[in-house]
Amino acid sequence: MRADQYECILTELDQFIIFLCCNWKIYVFVAVSPMIWVPNQLVGAPSGTNVTIDCHTEAYPRAISYWVYENVMILPTKKYGTETAENSYRGHMKLAIRDLKDKDFGNYRCISKNSLGETEGSIRLYGQYKQYDTFGNTRQIRMFLSKTA
């Protein structure tokens, strides 16, 4: 989407001479259903730490944007911090998850809706664990945790 400022100049032709008549600035707004892009679709973090995930949106008219985990809308709490910065037709959504536990690993969705439509992005949050070898050295192991039904 390209919303920008344009200049409209009206001219009058008289004896092959162009005289400037008026000079207006107009804004052109294009109605667009929401679009989302996710910079990092796969995010890893160790248990006990904090992590922030984010989504970028574009929509006009302005969209309502929110986060969902396990089919439940996430509201700001001590566990979750949400932030949305909006500038014209663009938005930047952030979700901070504090003190990660095993139950926090999984698929998070950022959803954006306006009168023209709805879309969502997905971020998979996985755990990283430290493992010690026989020499006492540490290395990071990535583990994809999935919930069983």
Output the pLDDT for position 88.
85
| pLDDT recorded at residue 119 | 97
DSSP assignment of 58-91, as one string?
EEESPPEEEEEETTEE----SSEEEEEEEETTEE
100: CB partners within 8 A, 6+ apart: 45, 46, 47, 48, 49, 50, 51, 127
Question: Partners of 35 in the beta sheet?
Answer: 58
Q: Which domains does the chain have, with CATH numbers?
A: 33-143 (2.60.40.10)
State the Cα–Cα distance between residues 132 and 149, nearest whole angstrom. 32
What pTM, to 2 d.p., does this model score? 0.72
The strand pairing partners of 96, in sequence order, are 52, 81
**Which residue(s) pair with 107 in the sheet?**
124
What is the pLDDT tens value at each position of the chain, 149 positions in all? Answer: 455 666 665 555 544 444 445 555 666 777 889 999 999 999 999 999 999 999 999 999 999 999 999 999 999 999 999 999 999 889 999 999 999 999 999 999 999 999 999 999 999 999 976 565 566 565 555 555 545 44
Q: Which two tokens stand for residue 26?
A: 């107009």
